[in-house]
Amino acid sequence: MSVKKMQSALPIDFLGSEIVEQHRFMAKFGAYMRNASYDGLLDEYYERFFNLWFHLWPHDDQETKKADIKRELFYYGLNLPHNSTIWCWGEAMVSLEVELGITFGVCKTLHRATKFKFVWTQALRRIMAIHSVSEASYPLRNLPIKDLERLSRLQERFAELVSRRDEKFILPRNDRILPTGLSEIEETGLRIHTGGVVNDMYLASGGRYLMTLASDNFDFPGSTLFTLWDLGLNLRRNHTTKACARLLERVGNLELQLFFSDPKSDKSLWTVSLELRQSSTMILVHKVCLLSPNTISLFARHEIPTSTSSTSWAVALIPGTCSIIFSFHQNHRFRLRIWNFIEDKVAHLLGPNSFGWEKTSLFPYTDCIFFAFEDRILIYNLPPLQLSIPDTVFKQHRPVLTWVPPLHSPNGFYVDYDNSATFIPPSHTPTSLLRIDAPHLTVLEVEDSSPTCVARFPRKVPLCEDEDPIFITDNRVYAALRGGYMSLCDEKLCFFALDDSSASVSLMNSTLTRGQGGTVDLGFVRTELRAPQGVVINYQDFSPLLGRHCILTPDGTVHILDY
């Protein structure tokens, strides 16, 4: 149904004479569509509806912007055609409360909208979509409204805490240590007597589930104990940390690379681990089933020949799929391989000649792959996959374009994303890549290229819209971007790093545009996450959504710190 036809179908009182501007019509139109449930058109117009509210006020003064939005929402809230559409307005108000800090106590009718469970469910659902969190981690249907509201606001509160404690430290409100023992049932079922020493871990997106790998050269030599932990949702109540499932895999020296939600099921998680051998690397995929009882099982294996066991690997997930891309070094050349572990199909990509010491980054998209080096980006269109049959000679796909940045230094690098997300976190549309050439920061916008039938033309290209790079005057920015990966926290870019054996979190504006005088306000703040006294960090992971910090010490102790 077209907009024009849809407009004629609206009730008479819905189309008042006061609607003279497009954004006013779209506001009420969006509310009506939520009430009328026109599923086919809902997503498109609902998105437009919110974009109009958030971007129509061009005031530099945030307080003026807040006042204008509040006044407009108050005015239209009194003229809604049906009370049930307050749900739609409630969603807008939740977003405004969370993103701009607007409160609506002045209007009881509108404020009442934020008390609907549906409102906070939708707000949390949007956050989950951005961060690739499934209902396996956040059970929306089972959570009461207070928990839904708290989960929706946790990242905002953590961002405020970091901003208030700039160049200071913050202490966790809760510190837990994972238990190391096994129950009698586990000892009997696994035929071992200890939980071993944890040597690797991975926190799934959303911060609730943690996977640990442990070994014990006396109790279960040559094997690895997989353990799934439910850490809870940081809802300010005592949560019993428990092992949900265990598996003793008869393979030793495994390294966890990915731990992510199934893009098609909210009842499954997947882990990807590597076994580094002398002349090859074995890739193991385990399925984590969250149906009662929780289980971990080996799902698939794939072997890749390598020159030595010291080959460095980069592993990433292709967005929205169960296809993994691996980059590795073999016979003086970089190579890439795509493997769909569900269908057991592969594709081989040919990289450049190299001695293997170069710093590289993988940026996978739905239709192409960026393989970034210090001085160039190789762009590959995503090729068709073939069945993985032993002794088959596969076509070596070459890059369709080599892109050279306008400014590059010998120590230049790209800021990595969290490669375990089912898609690269959309800091903005189009997705941005950050390149550092000290003391300059260049923002690259990744955009779809024009439709073409030419297979040799890249499907996406990086564009440098601002010819002048951003000059970095704060050395903390360089250190934060160099030391960790980038994610999102309350619409800000979030960088998590380990500096001098202490963890730090940094936030920076996600919209890097020039203001008056050509300067860019990075809005950079940094704070230390102070670990308990005497705790040495060997490895760590972090969830900005829950404000949760996981620390693995050299002796295998795992600390769970909630902020």
Q: Is 264 exposed, middle or buried (0-12, 13-18, 19+ CB in 10 A)?
A: exposed
Residue 126 located in a structural domain: no
**Residue 100 CB contacts under 8 Å (≥ 6 apart), including other chains:** 62, 65, 66, 69
Percent of the chain at pLDDT > 90 equals: 30
- pTM of the shown model: 0.80
Q: Which amino acid is at 299?
A: F
Above 70 in pLDDT, residue 382?
Answer: yes
Number of domains in the chain: 2
CA distance 471 to 438: 8
Residue 234 located in a structural domain: no
Pick the residue with more confidence: 338 or 47?
338
What pLDDT was estimated at residue 452?
63
- Residue closest to 465 by CA, chosen among 419, 402, 512: 512
15-29, 119-133, 232-246: the lowest-pLDDT one: 15-29
Residue 486 located in a structural domain: no
What pLDDT was estimated at residue 315?
92
Above 90 in pLDDT, residue 470?
Answer: no
Compute the average pLDDT of residues 424-453.
72
Domain boundary among 100, 115, 130: 115
Pick the residue with more confidence: 83 or 191?
191
Peptide bond before residue 430 is cis, with ω within 30 degrees of 0: yes
- Condensed to tens digits (0 to 9), the pLDDT of residues 209-238 reads 999 999 999 999 999 999 999 999 988 777
CA distance 312 to 328: 6
Above 90 in pLDDT, residue 453?
Answer: no
Q: Write out the DSSP string of 160-201.
A: HHHHHTTTSEE--SEEEE------HHHHHHHT-S---EEEEE
248-262, 487-501, 523-537: the lowest-pLDDT one: 487-501
Above 60 in pLDDT, residue 38?
Answer: no
- Count other Cβ atoms within 10 Å, centred on residue 139: 14
Residue 115, CA distances (Å) to 73, 98, 112 in order: 17, 14, 5
Residue 495 located in a structural domain: no
Residue 197, CA distances (Å) to 188, 277, 558 in order: 19, 22, 10
Q: Could you tell me the sign of the dihedral formed by the alpha carbons of 34, 36, 42, 46, in that order?
A: negative
49-63, 355-369, 404-418, 523-537: the lowest-pLDDT one: 49-63
Domain boundary among 115, 137, 162: 115
Compute the average pLDDT of residues 97-125.
62
Domain that holds residue 55: 3-115
What pLDDT was estimated at residue 449?
82
Residue 331 located in a structural domain: yes
- Residue closest to 11 by CA, chosen among 41, 32, 30, 34: 32
Backbone angles phi, psi at 100, to 5 degrees: -115, -5
Above 60 in pLDDT, residue 368?
Answer: yes
CA distance 551 to 77: 48
Residue pointed to by tokens 């606001």: 153
**The tokens of 534 are what?**
């005497």
Q: How far is CA 377 from its chain centroid?
A: 22
- Residue closest to 272 by CA, chosen among 231, 305, 302, 304: 302
Q: Are the C-beta atoms of 264 and 287 separated by less than 8 Å?
A: no
Q: Is 120 exposed, middle or buried (0-12, 13-18, 19+ CB in 10 A)?
A: buried
Above 90 in pLDDT, residue 325?
Answer: yes
Residue pointed to by tokens 């020039």: 514
Q: Are the C-beta atoms of 415 and 496 separated by less than 8 Å?
A: no
Strands (E), 516-557: 525-529, 539-543, 548-552
The radius of gyration of the chain from alpha carbons, rounded to an integer in Å, stands at 25
Q: Is 517 exposed, middle or buried (0-12, 13-18, 19+ CB in 10 A)?
A: exposed
Q: Are the C-beta atoms of 325 and 369 separated by less than 8 Å?
A: yes
Percent of the chain at pLDDT > 70 equals: 75
Above 60 in pLDDT, residue 498?
Answer: yes
**Alpha helix segments (H runs only) across 56-180:** 62-77, 86-100, 108-113, 117-131, 145-164
Residue pointed to by tokens 């939708």: 122
Q: What angle do CA 300, 302, 306 make, to 5 degrees?
A: 155
Q: How many CA atoms lie within 13 A of 62 on its CB side?
A: 5
Q: Which amino acid is at 82?
A: H
Residue 390, CA distances (Å) to 125, 329, 386 in order: 43, 21, 12
Cα dihedral 81→82→88→89 (10° resolution)? 70
Residue 70 located in a structural domain: yes
Pick the residue with more confidence: 68 or 516?
516
416-430, 437-451, 464-478: the lowest-pLDDT one: 416-430
Pick the residue with more confidence: 371 or 234?
371
When pLDDT is cut at 50, 70 and 90, the band that residue 422 belongs to is very low
Q: Which amino acid is at 488?
A: L
- Residue closest to 337 by CA, chosen among 276, 286, 281, 285: 281
Domain boundary among 464, 488, 510: 464
Backbone angles phi, psi at 78, to 5 degrees: -80, -10
At 422 the three-state DSSP class reads: coil
Residue 108 located in a structural domain: yes
Compute the average pLDDT of residues 118-124.
81
What pLDDT was estimated at residue 393?
83
Mean pLDDT taken over the chain: 78
- Residue closest to 368 by CA, chosen among 456, 308, 482: 456
Residue 341 located in a structural domain: yes
- Condensed to tens digits (0 to 9), the pLDDT of residues 178-210 reads 998 899 999 999 999 999 999 999 999 889 999
Q: Could you tell me the sign of the dihedral formed by the alpha carbons of 154, 155, 158, 163, in that order?
A: negative
Q: Are the C-beta atoms of 264 and 134 separated by less than 8 Å?
A: no
CA distance 185 to 162: 43
CA distance 367 to 77: 43
**The tokens of 516 are what?**
């008056």
80-94, 237-251, 267-281, 377-391: the lowest-pLDDT one: 80-94
What pLDDT was estimated at residue 34?
45
Above 90 in pLDDT, residue 430?
Answer: no
